[in-house]
Structure 1
Amino acid sequence: MTTVHSFAPIVDVSAHSLILGSMPGIASLDAGEYYAHSRNAFWPIMGALFDAGPSIPYEQRTSILTTNGIAVWDVLKLCTRHGSLDSAIVESSIDTNDLAGLLDEHRSIERIFFNGAKAENSFQRYVAPLPRTLTTVRLPSTSPAHASLSFERKLDAWRVIAP
């Protein structure tokens, strides 16, 4: 078992929507980048929606997201797990990020989109309620472990984040 730590949020003053994952996987932690696994659909979806696809440098992708009002973070600040799967997270080890603080600092955020069930369930169990009312939507996980949906079906579901 390894204790893993999430990254700082990708956010700026223009953010209106926050995408919350659970915890970066091993490939992301090794690269120091959100959604770095080559089979994760996150960046291909961002490419289809905002021209922020995996073929361009990471800093440019994140800049495109913030320019479009999209922030990215994780519900979990740290946890213990073996491997990358959300199902391997030891529940008793969970510590959450300061989402209330982020939302207080970025009052323009009106919507939270959960990247999969684990992010939403962890938010509901360990974070909610928030100090203000926001629209929340669970989207299908972009993880390669969530292979029951095709890329096209995931993309169709994720279209709700685009203006």
Structure 2
Amino acid sequence: MKVKRSFPPVVDADTRLLVLGSLPGDASLAAARYYAHPQNQFWRLMAAVVDVDLPALPYDDRLTALRAARVGLWDVVASATRPGSTDAAIRDLVGNDLPGLVATLPGLAAIAFNGATAYRHGVRQLAGHDLRLIPLPSSSPLHTIGLAAKRAAWIALRDVLRAP
């Protein structure tokens, strides 16, 4: 089985909020873009957080808008084997160097985890760090709670971005 690998982080020195997924799904890997599956709700959820119509923008402009809002993206998993795109199928997991990345982000105030798998693995990697860790319902279409319920949890990320 082929090893699947995450993308490089999308961050800069001004990143205040880091949103971590688990490992890109097959549609994202094929497109070489974060959250490329058309049914994944990530871009709609983040649009509500940063007050920018992200789904209407070309991909590179979406990333620029996130950076302008001081939001970074990455994944907890650096590489793994996984048939398909479900987190439950992840095997042979190798984690990304989350503590190493965090050390390069002087303005980082919080890390949000897109789904339970990202949260479970990320919290272990970040044990001992003095950061706010925020579990979120997964933006994946496989996570069956409705968009409105997800949106309520995700929109709370605004507080991190608006804090002094």
TM-score by length of 2: 0.92
Write the mapping of 1:13-162 to structure 2, written as runs, cut at 5 A. Answer: 13-50=13-50, 51-90=52-91, 93-125=92-124, 127-130=125-128, 132-147=129-144, 149-162=145-158
Report the 3-state secondary structure (helix = DSSP H, G, I; strand = E; otherwise coil) of the residue aligned with 2:103.
helix
Q: Which runs of 5+ in 1 are unaligned?
A: none
Q: Distance in 2 between matches of 1:110 and 1:2?
A: 36
The alignment of Structure 1 onto Structure 2 pairs a total of residues equal to 158
Q: Distance in 2 between matches of 1:114 and 1:145?
A: 16
Does residue 8 of structure 1 match 2:8? yes
Q: Distance in 2 between matches of 1:104 and 1:78?
A: 21
Q: AA paired with 2:54?
A: G
- 1:51-104 per-position Cα deviation (integer Å, ceiling 9, x unaligned): 1422210110111111111011000000011000001101xx111111111111
Q: Distance in 1 between matches of 2:127 and 2:96?
A: 14
Q: AA paired with 1:124?
A: V
Q: AA paired with 2:61?
A: Q
- Tell me how far 1:18 sits from its aligned partner: 0.6
Q: Distance in 1 between matches of 2:53 and 2:70?
A: 13
Q: AA paired with 2:23?
A: M
- Tell me how far 1:111 sits from its aligned partner: 0.2
Q: For the Cα contact (< 8 Å) 2:112–2:135, is it kept in 1?
A: yes
Q: For the Cα contact (< 8 Å) 1:17–1:71, is it kept in 2?
A: yes
Q: For the Cα contact (< 8 Å) 2:99–2:126, is it kept in 1?
A: no
Q: AA paired with 1:158?
A: W
Report the 3-state secondary structure (helix = DSSP H, G, I; strand = E; otherwise coil) of the residue aligned with 1:105.
coil
TM-score by length of 1: 0.92
The CA RMSD over aligned residues, in Å, is 1.2
Q: Distance in 2 between matches of 1:52 and 1:24?
A: 22
Q: For the Cα contact (< 8 Å) 1:52–1:65, is it kept in 2?
A: no
Q: Which runs of 4+ in 1 moved over 4 A?
A: none
